[in-house]
Amino acid sequence: MRVVVLASIAVLLAITLVPTLRSYLHQQGKIESLRHQVAQQEAGVADLQKEQARWNDDAYVMQQARERLKFVKVGEKSYTVIDPKPDAKSLRGGGAAAERSASTRSWYAQLWDSVQVADAGPAEGRAPAAK
């Protein structure tokens, strides 16, 4: 009889404690993942603060303006090498190289090229469009 009572008490404790223990372990795992996420976000904030500190430096701002916007100081001359070694496909206007160069070219250069193509009319060997 004692064994049955002790066994039933043990089963009752197990039924009561197992969900609680499972919930505790789940919460601990979630806390650990949130701590990891917070550490990543703090590292990102530190990187952004370094970037912000760089933009407060006038020399860095001038360097970025020169690189990104092609600004020059008074009296300086700016040279831009467009394509030092064009390959054969880009000269003919076809292939992946043409697509690559079109995506890196400025919008106004692409616009001017489309105006020139439209002005050239239909290509030789093709019948003119019906009116």
Two structure tokens written together for 6: 């002790």
Q: How far is CA 113 from CA 11, 47, 90, 106, 108, in A?
A: 83, 42, 14, 11, 9
d(CA 62, CA 64) in angstroms, rounded, equals: 5
Phi, psi of 69 (to 5 degrees): -105, 0
pLDDT category of residue 8 using cuts at 50, 70 and 90: very high
pLDDT, tens only, 21-44 = 999 999 999 999 999 999 999 999
d(CA 126, CA 120) in angstroms, rounded, equals: 13
Q: How many CB atoms lie within 10 A of CB 108?
A: 8
For the whole model, what pTM was predicted? 0.43
